[in-house]
Structure 1
């Protein structure tokens, strides 16, 4: 694993390169996550592949890269990464990263040769009439509250995650490395490096402009695979993408193929070995 700095509007986007192979895949993470969330997937890639996992602006070592945020901005950053690396490349995104990856694939299809969406990318169901700020507080508020907390040590921060209901039964070295990568600050005041401002802006974009992602799915020209989990962000059923929503878009979008990954939740679908190996296979095997 080594660090890369890739020029984008406003500065440099940080990325982690896993592997030394010449065939390249670019990865985009979730709304409060980082490049390190793809560590398990990278380990399962064939030897002739490398995974370039980005820290999206406002997260990880790109935490100080300024806005604007939103899926248009993240998609433009992913396009810049692909151009910098030498397109076309494979593209994968998880959770919020799936929406950014979808938009990048639609706006700049010549830069990518395949697309894998992991538990994201479909329009999120919202009430017919809703207050965006109230819904945002219900959905994103708990995550933002965690970003503002401080912890006495990195180990205490790890222990907080280890107790999470979606993670406690599946804890592994990849999750441990992911949490430690996110931790910054002095002893006694350890915190996440993710920007709360970025999370709010991106969460609002996902909710207010949900219909635009349906339009993106219909406009896809690349073959896309959606891998989705039966359980959600707290390890409960249904998943973030309920089966009726998946079935609807799999029928509507000609380029989309959907696959349920059994016995996973929103996090373990990416950071547990069995599903990570499946993601690596779908990413490196032509559709």
Structure 2
């Protein structure tokens, strides 16, 4: 694992490169994480790739070691940043994103298909319908409100922060060393005031963007040129049914676009990137020929 810096407006964007320092024949995966996550989300996936493949996981603007980068935020900006990284690593690349990162990856693939050989969406990327008359702010609070609240909390120690995550209902029964490393990477601050390094303003801005521009992601899906595949979990952010992408929504977009989809059993919105069986399916989708429904 090596740190790399990619020049962008406002300062350098940070990423982690796993695997060989140089890769050829398009064997590079560029990965974008979820709304309050970091590049460390993809450690298990990187480990599952063949030895001659590299994975470059970005700390999106406002997160991880890119937390100090200023706005604007939103999927357009994240897509621009992903395009910059693809150019830096000598694309074209296999582009993937999980949760919010799937929307950023989708936007990047739609705008610069020349840089993308294949797009893999992981439990995200489909337009999320907001019922008529419902305030998007209320939807945002119901979905990512607890995560935003966590960003404003402080903890007496890094270990206390790890222990807080270990009690999460979607993670408690699947905890492992990768998740511990993920949480420690996110922690910042002195003892007595340890907190997440994620910028809450970035999370709020990105959440609003996902809800208020939902229709634009449908247009992106329908206009895509690279092969596009969706892997989705049966359980949601709290380990509950239904998942983030209910089956009728998946069916709608596999009918309306060239997207293919596969349900990954035995995982939730988070453990699709950490459970060994789920990770194996993610790695297969990234490196094999296009998968079918």
TM-score, structure 2 as length reference:
0.96
- The runs of at least 4 consecutive aligned structure 1 residues that moved more than 4 Å come to none
Q: Indicate the residue corresponding to 1:143 in structure 2.
A: 147
Counterpart of 2:161 in structure 1 is: 157
**Equivalent pair of 2:266/2:278 in contact (CA under 8 Å):** no
Q: Partner of 2:201 in structure 1? A: 197
Are 2:252 and 1:258 aligned?
Answer: no
Post-superposition CA distance 1:43-102 (Å, at most 9, x none): 001011110000000000000011100000000000000011111111110000000000
Q: 2:225 aligns with which of 221, 227, 230?
A: 221
Classify the secondary structure of the residue corresponding to 2:174.
coil
Tell me the residue number matched to 1:185. Answer: 189
Distance in 1, matches of 2:161 and 2:109, equals 36
Question: d(CA) in 2 for partners of 1:285 and 1:263?
Answer: 22
Cα displacement (A) at 1:125 = 2.4
Distance 2:273 2:3 in 1: 21
Match of 2:82 among 78, 86, 107: 78
Distance (whole Å) between structure 1 residues aligned to residue 133 and residue 218 of structure 2: 18
C-alpha distance in structure 2 between counterparts of 1:61 and 1:15, whole Å:
8
For the aligned residues, what is the CA RMSD? 0.8
Per the TM alignment, residue 276 of structure 1 is displaced from its structure 2 partner at its CA by 1.2
Contact 2:234–2:243, Cα closer than 8 Å, also in 1: yes
Q: Does structure 1 residue 282 correspond to structure 2 residue 285?
A: yes
Could you report, residue by residue, the CA deviation over 1:149-178 in whole angstroms, capped at 9, with x for unpaired residues? Answer: 000111110111100000001111111111
In the alignment, which residue of structure 2 is the partner of 1:100? 104
- What's the counterpart of residue 250 of structure 2? 246
Secondary structure (helix, strand or coil) at the match of 1:27 reads: strand
SS state at 1:58 partner: coil
Q: Counterparts of 2:144 and 2:237 in 1: how far apart (Å)?
A: 12
What secondary structure does 1:12 align onto?
Answer: strand
Which whole-Å CA distance do the structure 1 matches of 2:275 and 2:192 have between them? 31
Instruction: For residue 172 of structure 2, give the secondary structure of its aligned residue in structure 1.
Output: coil
Aligned to 1:13: 13
Per the TM alignment, residue 239 of structure 1 is displaced from its structure 2 partner at its CA by 0.2
Q: Which stretches in structure 1 are left out of the alignment for 5+ residues? A: none
Deviation at 1:134, TM superposition (A): 2.2
Structure 2 gaps, min length 5: none
1:9-158 mapped onto 2 (5 Å cutoff): 9-20=9-20, 22=23, 23-158=27-162
Kindly indicate whether the alpha-carbon contact (under 8 Å) linking 1:114 and 1:286 is maintained by their aligned counterparts in 2.
Answer: no
Distance across 2 between alignment mates of 1:286 and 1:128: 40
1:137 Cα deviation from its structure 2 partner:
1.9
In the TM superposition, residue 131 of structure 1 has moved relative to its aligned partner by 1.2
Query: C-alpha displacement at 1:132, in angstroms?
Result: 1.9
Aligned residues: 286
Residue number in structure 2 paired with 1:175: 179
Taking the aligned partners of 1:115 and 1:268, their CA distance within structure 2 comes to: 20
**How far has the Cα of 1:135 moved from its partner?**
2.0
Q: Distance in 1 between matches of 2:162 and 2:142?
A: 25
Give SS of 1:53's match. Answer: strand
